[in-house]
Chains A and B, each alone.
Chain A
Amino acid sequence: MIPNSQEIAADWSLRVEAALGRYDGELLDGVATRLLKPRGTLPREEVLDRTIEFFSNPVQVDRRISALDPAAQILLEVAAKSQKTVWFVGNLVEIVLGLGWKDGIGAVVGLLESGLAYPVFQLPTTPSPANEFQEMTTAAPLSQPVQFGNFLHWLSSPGPMGHNLFFVPGVLERMEGKPPLLPDLSKNPHARAPGRDEEDGQQADESEPFEEVIYGAPPFPGVEADGCEWFIRISLLWQKTQKNPLKMTQAGEFFKKDQERLEDSQLVAPIPESNVVVPDLGYWLAESARATGVLQAVDIELQATDFPVSWGKGWTGALRELLHGSFGASGWNPQDGWKPQVPGEPVSNPFPSALAIAFSLLGSIESGSWISPRVIEAWILRNHPWWAGQGVRPSRRKPFLETWLAGIVWPMGLVEMAKDPDGKLLFRLSASGKMLMSGASLSGETRAIPKMLLIQPNLEIMAFRQGLDPARIAKLSMFAVWKAFGPACMLQLTPDSVYRALELGESFESVRAFLDGHSTRPVPQAIIDQIGSWASKRERVVIHTSAMVLEFSSATDLEAALGRGLMAVRLGDRHALVDNEDAVDFRMFRLSGSRDYRVSPEPCIRQGPDGLDLTVDETKSDLLLETELPLLADPVLQKIGGAANRHRITPASMARVRERGWNLEMLEQWFRTRTGESPKSSVKLFFLAKARKSLVIEPRIILQSDEEETTEGLWQWQEFKAVTLERVGPCAISIHPEKVEQAKSMLESVGLKWGGMISQKDP
């Protein structure tokens, strides 16, 4: 997983250590020399420690920034203005090229070599008692990561996450207040790209004259959104995908029925006051939900997951993630709408870099001035490598920035919008946008109006938008269903929605406290009782999806373990259930067996010579066997204080198996799994006897010969065959009881000597 800016802010030092751990000795020395300027060669451990320490010294950080090439510095400026710390390297290269420099890779490598940016690698897993225990039992060796000797080597071998790098947050903070390298297009729409400016010293690009009115600070009334819109709609999508995840085909397209869900009229309703049609808005919402972690890609599905932590912390982090998601929505862009990337095909998406440049240019205009999106867009089209040149198709030149600013960014509340006298849209950063760009927390992380709910006896909740923020939207979305969202939003409490909230970790008390705390009037008692009734019902049945069960050899041992502080739920006399393995102190136990239920069971039963005796190897057996065996066989020998380890299959036990609905195939499968071989005939006899033709015991008159040839001759003699019933053996033929005399005379007629009749009573 590629971390987002919020995660980098939390664990950047671990990630710096992880990255430095992948540098070989020579590369580490090179980076350390440029960043730390030591007097001699430092041991690896000291480089790690001093690098982390370095970023707490703003003076030193400023010095290293000023020593960078302008191309690398401007990358820091764009990253700081976007407040985005994690970047796909390809986008950074495009930004450098789009700002007029010719060597995009060089600028990125320069940043990495300076030690101000680092490649993103997976963090090593944190050791825990459970992990240690698992390693002890599985003996899985840990592979050592490969080190690389230079950054071109890293760029030539992308891992599963591709090439992504991150800037240390402290570096981007130091960019605040530095003179901008990006031009102010509100003053000069024809300003040359900084890289080109540096190369030939000209200040304006006259190659494509651009007729656009420049607005300084005219007194247009600006309109600012409350910032709630996308959080509400993403929450609505989250609710719709709770039970039915969105599914995607191999080609990266949504299934037909999911396309219809993404085009749902409530989800894609026009945004009031924006007056811009956002193409395929539902798809953008799905991509943003994925980018911000509200939906999670699992195989071919986009599944609803927990709301991001940033939503619970207020506006800044949540809006930042939403903005970054809007830069890099992988299958959506403001020009074409939904355009999924075909897996395995080369990725060519210029919009993350173009939109990051556009947002940074918007942040570079003089405070209070308005700017037309067409000015910024024309500047990008002139300079960005994707659009530069004469051979670009007209479809690629369709306007996109106004759609993105008015349709996507304006509802976030990050820009103000106004109309010029001709009715054309103008933009500037809002106060929230400026705060976000400066890296400061937005004022009013939670809304000032705490009382914003009106709860009605019919279980409807009216929520006033002035009091909503991401945290409150997330909380409401967990236990109530969004029905409508206008100036006042309508939600509905249902058994399913309350159950969903409880499943997500809420409790009756937390839901009640939220309603009490935010309701403009006392919550009706009937509503509280109803929620309480729904919540208490849930506690009656508990399903543990992946628990650890400890099986003790006696009740005394279980008592002893509980007495020593084992935190577990007692299941019976000898079994205890633990949900959190990390909380178990395994040092108090001696392991007599271990079984992982996600792995196929291994044979743990030995069949006796007659196939009916089953002996259990208790070191390999599992709980499933404990429930299966009483069905298939009866216990034979009871161990003192323990479970039976010998069982015997009986006709009665096989009858139980048949009554349970098993067939022969199921029985054979069970025996193969549990004993490693097929059931013996005796077992099949007991199992199938009832289904077979009934057996008969009857007296027969048998003609017994001492020679097989004689019997064969008689059997071929058609006239004699007429007095027989059947041939019962090589030398025996059954004679019809009423034709014995006839048979005798026929035997005599061919000269065979008749030996007489033996009665049943004769020995």
Chain B
Amino acid sequence: MDPGQSRIPVKVHRRVCILRSDDPIIIEEVLSRKKLQNDIAGRLTPSSVLIRPGRTEPIIAELLKLGHTPKIVQRPQS
């Protein structure tokens, strides 16, 4: 880092589960599924949905049932 640059204030959220899609219809579809209401915390941004910790499996299963094939990005091993 350039010593002349100031540090940027940031809040870090670690080990967050997020569903992301550029297609707003998919986001709406997920948010409107009653079956997923306990698993999804809510919409974070227009293109992302926050998943409750440890609740990714039912969401993946439901998406597969809906005919989607979600790409799962795991935390890389450090």
Contacts and interface: CB of A to CB of B under 8 A. Distances in A.
Interface of A: 126, 128, 130-131, 495, 499, 502-503, 534, 537-553, 557, 560-561, 564, 569, 571-573, 575, 577, 579-582, 585, 587-598, 618, 622-624, 626-628, 630-631, 660-661
Contact of A572 (B7, B8, B22, B48): B48
Contacts of A582: 76, 78
Contact of B45 (A575, A580, A596): A575
Contacts, number: 198
B48 to A, nearest CB: 5
Contacts of B73: 542-545, 547, 579
Interface residues of B, number: 48
Contact of B12 (A538, A553, A561, A594): A594
Interface string B52-78: 111010011001000011111111101
A598 to B, nearest CB: 5
B26 to A, nearest CB: 6
Given A541-B68, A543-B70, A585-B1, A549 B16 contact: yes
Nearest to B59: A543
A624 B52 contact: yes
Given A499-B69, A546-B17, A540 B23 contact: yes
Nearest to B46: A572
Given A541-B21, A542-B19, A543-B59, A628 B42 contact: yes
B75 to A, nearest CB: 4
B16 A546 contact: yes
Given A542-B20, A545-B75, A557 B68 contact: no
A481 to B, nearest CB: 16
A545 B17 contact: yes
B10 A540 contact: no
Contacts of A542: 19-21, 70-71, 73
- Most interface-central of A538, A540, A550, A590 (chain B CB within 10 A): A540
A217 to B, nearest CB: 51
Enumerate the 5 nearest inter-chain pairs by beta-carbon distance, A residue then B residue, closest first. A627-B42, A572-B45, A546-B75, A590-B7, A593-B11
B69 A534 contact: yes
Contact of B18 (A502, A543, A587): A543
Contacts of A595: 11-14
Contacts of B9: 552-553, 557, 589-590, 592
B33 interface: no
A541 B13 CA distance: 21
Nearest to A538: B69
B50 A552 contact: no
Nearest to B54: A598
B9 to A, nearest CB: 5
B8 A588 contact: yes
Contacts of B53: 597-598
Contacts of A572: 44-48
Contacts of B45: 571-573, 575
Contacts of B19: 541-544
Nearest to B14: A596
A596 B69 contact: no
Contact of B14 (A548, A569, A628): A548
A497 B32 CA distance: 29
Contacts of B15: 546-548, 596-598
Contacts of B51: 543
A422 B37 CA distance: 72
21 contacts: A131-B78, A537-B69, A541-B23, A543-B70, A544-B73, A545-B17, A545-B74, A549-B18, A550-B13, A551-B12, A552-B11, A564-B1, A564-B5, A572-B46, A575-B44, A582-B78, A588-B8, A589-B8, A591-B12, A593-B12, A630-B42
A551 B52 CA distance: 18
A580 B78 CA distance: 8
B52 to A, nearest CB: 7
A627 B43 contact: yes
A626 B37 contact: no
A627 to B, nearest CB: 3
A593 B75 CA distance: 21
A492 B61 CA distance: 23
Contacts of B5: 564, 588
A714 to B, nearest CB: 57
Contacts of A544: 16-20, 73
Nearest to A666: B38
A126 B78 CA distance: 8
Contact of B20 (A553, A569, A581, A588): A569
Contacts of A590: 7-10
A598 B21 CA distance: 24
B1 A550 contact: no
Contacts of B59: 543
Contacts of B46: 572
B4 to A, nearest CB: 12
A539 B8 CA distance: 32
B22 to A, nearest CB: 8
B51 to A, nearest CB: 7
A630 B5 CA distance: 36
Contacts of B63: 541, 543
A499 B10 CA distance: 36
Query: Most chain-B Cβ atoms within 10 A of its Cβ — which of A545, A618, A624?
Result: A545
Contacts of B21: 540-542
A571 B47 contact: yes
A623 B1 contact: no
A564 B28 CA distance: 34
A499 B53 CA distance: 24
Nearest to A580: B76
A577 B18 contact: yes
B20 A594 contact: no
